[in-house]
């Protein structure tokens, strides 16, 4: 029995963190390939405290100018069940769980999403 969330377009066959290129690359079961910038992954961290930070930053854009951006170096990545991946960043932050369906919906390639990468979709 396969679950609805394991349909091909949300099912990775290969996951690679390319530290040199600064990219997280997913090959999907339907043949599509997505490459996410690690800086983007870090900036859209879906954990509760990062979401709150972004909410505050939206209310007060000047907050964005305070301090350096978070370090997008990946310490480790681990699968969460068969539906998500969790990144631990070099600065020790590691609460964000990136659902594969959200990642697929946020694929930055021109066929999926045009223009600037936005927030992580569906998270
Ligand atoms: Zn976070
Ligand atoms: Zn795509």
User: Helical H runs in the chain?
Assistant: 38-43, 48-59, 100-105
Q: Considering the domain boundaries, does residue 82 fall inside one?
A: yes
Give the tens place of pLDDT for each residue, 35-84.
999 999 999 999 999 999 888 888 887 765 555 666 789 999 999 999 99
Ligand nearest to the CA of 123: 1
Q: Considering the domain boundaries, does residue 118 fall inside one?
A: no
What pLDDT was estimated at residue 9? 86
Q: Considering the domain boundaries, does residue 18 fall inside one?
A: yes
Q: Considering the domain boundaries, does residue 117 fall inside one?
A: no
Ligand nearest to the CA of 31: 2
Q: Considering the domain boundaries, does residue 38 fall inside one?
A: yes
What pLDDT was estimated at residue 96? 92
Protein residues near ligand 2, an ion, with CB under 5 A: 107, 109, 112
Domain with residue 43: its CATH number is 3.30.2020.30
Ligand nearest to the CA of 48: 1
Whose CA is closest to 100, among 115, 81, 117?
81
Structure pTM? 0.84
What pLDDT was estimated at residue 122? 65
Q: Structural domain tally of the chain?
A: 1
Q: Considering the domain boundaries, does residue 122 fall inside one?
A: no
Q: 75 or 6: which carries more pLDDT confidence?
A: 75
| Beta carbons within 10 angstroms of residue 30's beta carbon | 12
Q: Considering the domain boundaries, does residue 111 fall inside one?
A: no
Is pLDDT above 50 for 2? Answer: no
- Which stretch of 5-9, 15-19, 52-56, 94-98 has the lowest confidence by average pLDDT? 5-9
Q: Considering the domain boundaries, does residue 112 fall inside one?
A: no
Query: How far, CA to CA in Å, does 114 sit from each of 37, 41, 117, 123?
Result: 15, 17, 8, 19
Domain range holding 98? Answer: 4-105
Compute the distance from residue 5 Cα to the ligand 2 centre, in Å.
18
Is pLDDT above 60 for 1? Answer: no
């Amino acid at each position: 029995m396969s679950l609805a969330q394991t349909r091909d377009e949300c099912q990775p066959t290969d996951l690679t963190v390319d530290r040199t290129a600064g990219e997280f690359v997913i090959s999907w079961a339907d043949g599509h390939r997505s490459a996410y910038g690690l800086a983007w992954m870090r900036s859209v961290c879906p954990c509760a405290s990062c979401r709150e930070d972004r909410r505050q930053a939206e209310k007060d854009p000047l907050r964005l100018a305070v301090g350096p951006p978070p370090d997008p170096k990946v310490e480790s990545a681990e699968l969460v069940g068969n539906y998500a991946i969790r990144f631990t960043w070099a600065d020790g932050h590691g609460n964000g769980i990136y659902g594969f369906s959200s990642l697929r919906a946020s694929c930055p390639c021109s066929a999926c999403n045009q223009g600037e990468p936005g927030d992580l979709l569906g998270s």
